[in-house]
Amino acid sequence: MAYKNIKITKGNAGFGGPLIIEPNEHKNKVLCVTGQQVSPVAKKIAEMTGCELVDGFKTTVPDDEVAVAVVNCGGTARCGVYPKKGIMTVNVEPVGAVGPLAMYIKPEIYVSDVKESNLFYTDETNASTASTAEEELATADGPKSKEQAKAEVAAAQGQKKQNLVTRIGVGVGHVVNKFFAAGRDSIDMVIRNILPFMAFTSTLLGIIQASGLGNVIAHTISPLCSTLPGMIAISFICGMPFLSPILGPGAVIAQVVGTLLGAEFAKGNIPPQYSLPALFAINAQVGCDFIPVGLSLGEAEPETIEMGVPAVLYSRIITGPIGVIVGFLLSFGLYA
């Protein structure tokens, strides 16, 4: 089958790219991991390239067969999982290099805010630096086998014997660099994830107080969260298989509702003993968008993913209410 190369550019609010997708007889799958509905962008990519479209919530394929992965991650781990594997990644959401895997989200392998209008046919190809270097070496000195190259490297390393002081210095430098890198990554994560969320929470609370939305919430959500049956109903709705993958991305729903409920708990509109079960009630859907990605990271077989994704999704409508009941029982005496 003849495959066609395409060029994918970022949207107006996007990051990264452009990506050149070059499918072949082996790497000919478009993996779509966008919840219960296959993204139109993924469909268009498959149509233009001639690749096979695979729904990541129903099955999976080996990583070396994926030409491009399409996600709708709002900034959690999913947008960095496939770049970490070296797979070209298209995010339909306007998300840059964020999340715990931000170091793998690079412009040459990741592009975001992609719409169907950002897809183009192209004749461009990706030049391989490794093949270029091999060609230059073959032209200059003749081709070398892998065994010859390894022997030359081993001989060069054998000629450099380090004394005790040098080895100690190298070891100390290695440890210091590790600690320095850990500190840098920690600060980077705080700046990229924690501080923006704090600003978002402050802004949201300000809007709630200024608009009077808090009063509306107090009269609608508060009654549900102040009774055990109401919280069980919330967890059941959030855990429905056709809703949970949509409510899960970026944990946005849990963040927003949690912020609103926190304000109501602080005002005394909801008794504090209901805070623990309320936490379980609004988090029944968390992680449902990540299930196929998690199974893929665990190198699960395609058959396992086909059965595992719906099994976990359906289990949430059972474990969600159970979690609320357990949280309710454990909350006795906490605020006496």
pLDDT digits (tens, 9 = 90+) for 73-105: 877 777 889 999 999 999 998 888 887 788 899
Comparing C-alpha atoms, which of 113, 92, 109 is closest to residue 39? 92
* Under-70 pLDDT residues of the chain: 1, 36, 123-163, 166-167, 169-170, 173-174, 177, 181, 197, 201, 204-205, 208-209, 213-222, 249-252, 335-336
* pLDDT the model gives residue 140: 46
Active site residues: 73
Q: How many CB atoms lie within 10 A of CB 129?
A: 8
DSSP output for 44-92: HHHHHHTPEEEETTT----GGGEEEEEE--SSSTHHHHHHHTT--EEES
Cβ(232)–Cβ(268) below 8 Å: no
* pLDDT the model gives residue 160: 47
* pLDDT the model gives residue 22: 92
| Torsion sign (Cα): 152, 154, 155, 159 | positive
Q: How many CB atoms lie within 10 A of CB 84?
A: 15
| Token pair belonging to 210 | 């200024």
Residues 140, 146, 150, CA angle at the centre, nearest 5°?
100
* CA atoms of 170 and 241, how far apart (whole Å): 54
* pLDDT the model gives residue 151: 58
* pLDDT the model gives residue 69: 94
Give Cα separations from 114 to 44, 242, 257, 290 (angstroms): 11, 24, 28, 20
Give Cα separations from 293 to 56, 64, 72, 187, 232 (angstroms): 8, 15, 12, 27, 28
Q: What is the mean pLDDT of the chain?
A: 79
| Token pair belonging to 270 | 């909801």
Q: Which residues of 181-215 are buried (b: 16+ CB within 10 A; e: fewer)?
A: eeeeeeeeeeebbeeeeeeebeebbeebeeeeebe
Cβ(17)–Cβ(9) below 8 Å: yes
